[in-house]
Structure 1
Amino acid sequence: MPPLKPLKKRPVARRKLSEIVFEQLIELIREEGYAPGDPLPTERELMETFGVGRPVVREALQRLEGMGMISIQHGERAKVRQLDMHALIQQLDVSARHLLSTSAESVDHLREARVFFETGLVRIVAERADADALERLRAALERMRTLSDAPRTEFIPADMAFHLEIARISGNPIYLAVAKAILEWMADYRRDMLRFKGTEVSIAEHERIFERVEQGDAEGAVRAMRDHLTAVGGG
């Protein structure tokens, strides 16, 4: 038997009490079947349950709030929130906006991701849209037409609503949440794009997208969306 080699030191990482309480709170919510709107036990009850002090409980609760799992109002017990894709993506909002405001390269990457994402979406919609879905998309387009001479602050939300309706028609809530985030993150930049392109050009591009979707022409819808998003200033 060969001689044993000396073992390398493997120090056990020390974990903060708040991390342990944080994990146990998640288990508590899951195991006890807390529903959105249900209040959690008071801080004092949680202190007694986990055998820790108030600062530890508060730090764990604040981490849960940061993840969007609970809401905390001063003077009230923490309450469980409805957790969905919108809430999850919203947690990235501040960081994403900071990154976009400080990095031109990140804006370019977001534009590229949007083209990839929305051309895929419009293909799905052209293949699946029924009469009700087409009517909603037509209404969004008509809203843009009525605002052709309106200030940009009014026109841009209508433009965004058209793209969000495409995501909604897909029937996938994850697609809708991602589309909403991308559009909101690009909103400031798109104001400058629309100032260059003009609302009439933007409306005409959206009309071509709608026509291709209405005819069930998936490839044509993809081309129309790609042309719209990659044209000079794509809006």
Structure 2
Amino acid sequence: GTAMAPLRDCKAWQDAGLALSTTSNEACKLFDATVRQYATWRNDENLGGIEGCLSKLKAADPNFVMGHVIANGLQLIGIGSSLRLNRDLDNALKTLMTLTKSQPLTEREKLHVLALDMFARGQRPKACEIWEQILQNHPTDLLALKFSQDTYFSIGYQVQMRDSVARVFPFWTPDVPLSSYVKGYYAFGLMESNFFDRAEELAREVICLFMMVKGF
């Protein structure tokens, strides 16, 4: 579950049960790099930071729907409100909708697009329901998990935030990249909803894991 796992190409995403509709291995890896940086709250300068990854991602495959999903989602969730006001983002979302109609996508990808559409319309609880739908079938979809965690947090749904990560937590075995961070989300969710003992226990496990990874 360390952040050091190699970035996933088309086949690796497929093997993880999270197929991406692009033939570009470069786009797949850059998507992975962007998700990882978002999920771990840090810009990896070796990867050019989130901004750098997003622009390279767009260049690698301009029609890659999940590339557009993460770019638009980060903006939407970063600003956190209904964004019909922001013309650039509005246009970016329209582009995403057009792309979505112009190519065959997986069910999961279609739901990702739908969730963002709901979010952009100001229907954040509805967006969370759609991310939950994704997580039911794809519990290791880190983007769906992180988007929903951040949205639950911003609308004050602490219990849903905790329960959501609790449901997927068993699937995040140590071999899944970033599983230790998901353990961290779980600890945070428990703490936010006043389950302090269990939160403390998990937090200690996370710290131990990081020390092992960093070789302390």
TM range (shorter): under 0.3
Larger Rg: 1
Q: Normalized against structure 1, the TM-score is what?
A: 0.24
- Give TM-score, length-normalised by structure 2: 0.26
